[in-house]
Structure 1
């Protein structure tokens, strides 16, 4: 199976191994990093190991191309479809990138506040540790940001793309998405990303940047049954 078919597993067992907890059959990100988890495969043993990593009231996100099997002891709080898109050619950074600023620990509280407001996907206090994040400030405020999430040899995901409602309509999401994708290409990796299947505006935006549909991805939010 291609690593892109199980990007969470591919990340947790390679470049993000230091951010993972679990064993050989199932892993999840540390709770302060992100809520994604993955079984190695859909065997009974792997699904049981995944269930053991989930605590009641602390749901995890599963994202993979194969149909998701709900492990015994877990319940699906949400089932949805994403599209996975991949850059078919290296993305080139546009001029005027000097206003794009690196973001890090000093910006973490503002990044969390922006992500909480705009909901680009699961984003926690230390999600920025998953990869390189950049942003644009306007009058001192963090107006928009984008960064990298899942990463494994040869590939890195563009993620966390969001713009504060006060600054929408200025092309900031496009500029930052291009900047992140160009950085991924510059180090010799291929950029990919995920978008909700219903988010046609985002899909059109990414198509203008050179991303093309690879496949659909199943997403489930799984929680432990109380008991």
Structure 2
């Protein structure tokens, strides 16, 4: 199976192994980092190991190309379809009037607040530790940001792309996405990303940047069954 078919597993067993909890059968990100988890495969033993990683009131997200099988002891509170897109050709940075600044620990609370407001995907206080993040400040406020999420040899995901409602319509998401994708390419990796299948506007934006559809992906939010 291609690493991109199970990007969460590929990341947790690769460049993000230091951020993982679990064993050789199933892994998840540490709760302060992110909510994604993955079994090694869809066999009963691996799925049972995945179920053991899910704590009450702490749901996990599963994202993969194969159809998702729900382990015994868990229930799906959400099932949805997404798309996986991969950069083709050369993506170059785009100039703009606002300075792009690196984001890190000192910006964590503002990043979390922006992500909580705009919901670009699961984002916690230490999600920024998954990769490089950049942002744009306008009048001292964090107006927009984008960064990296899943990472494994040869591939890095563009993620966390969001703009505060007060600053939409200025092309900030486009500029930040281009910048992150160009940085990924500059170090020799291929950029990829995910979007909800129903998010036509986001898909059009990424197509305009040079991303092309690779496949559909399955997404599930899994909760432990009480009791």
Instruction: Name the TM tier (shorter chain).
Output: over 0.9
TM-score after normalising by structure 1:
0.99
Partner of 1:150: 150
Partner of 2:62: 62
CA contact (8 A) 1:76 1:220 kept: yes
Partner of 2:208: 208
Deviates more, 1:90-99 or 1:188-197: 90-99
- Moved segments of 4+, more than 4 Å: none
Task: Report the Cα offset of residue 94 of structure 1.
Answer: 1.9
Q: Does 1:186 align with 2:186?
A: yes
Map Cα deviations across residues 154-183 of structure 1 (whole Å, 9 max, x no partner): 000000000000000000000000000000
What is the alpha-carbon distance in structure 2 between the residues aligned to residue 40 and residue 225 of structure 1?
A: 22
CA contact (8 A) 1:144 1:161 kept: yes
Q: Secondary structure at the match of 2:51?
A: helix
- 1:33-182 equivalences in 2 (<5 Å): 33-96=33-96, 99-182=99-182
Distance 1:101 1:44, change over 3 A: same
What is the alpha-carbon distance in structure 2 between the residues aligned to residue 182 and residue 96 of structure 1?
A: 15
What is the alpha-carbon distance in structure 1 between the residues aligned to residue 188 and residue 90 of structure 2?
A: 9
Unaligned ranges ≥5, structure 2: none
Unaligned ranges ≥5, structure 1: none
Q: Secondary structure at the match of 2:54?
A: coil
What is the alpha-carbon distance in structure 1 between the residues aligned to residue 8 and residue 168 of structure 2?
A: 30
CA contact (8 A) 2:65 2:217 kept: yes
Task: Report the Cα offset of residue 80 of structure 1.
Answer: 0.2
Q: Secondary structure at the match of 1:71?
A: coil
Q: How many residue pairs end up in the alignment?
A: 227
Q: Secondary structure at the match of 1:129?
A: helix
CA RMSD of aligned residues (A): 0.9
Task: Report the Cα offset of residue 95 of structure 1.
Answer: 2.8
TM-score after normalising by structure 2:
0.99
What is the alpha-carbon distance in structure 2 between the residues aligned to residue 141 and residue 223 of structure 1?
A: 35
What is the alpha-carbon distance in structure 2 between the residues aligned to residue 17 and residue 219 of structure 1?
A: 22
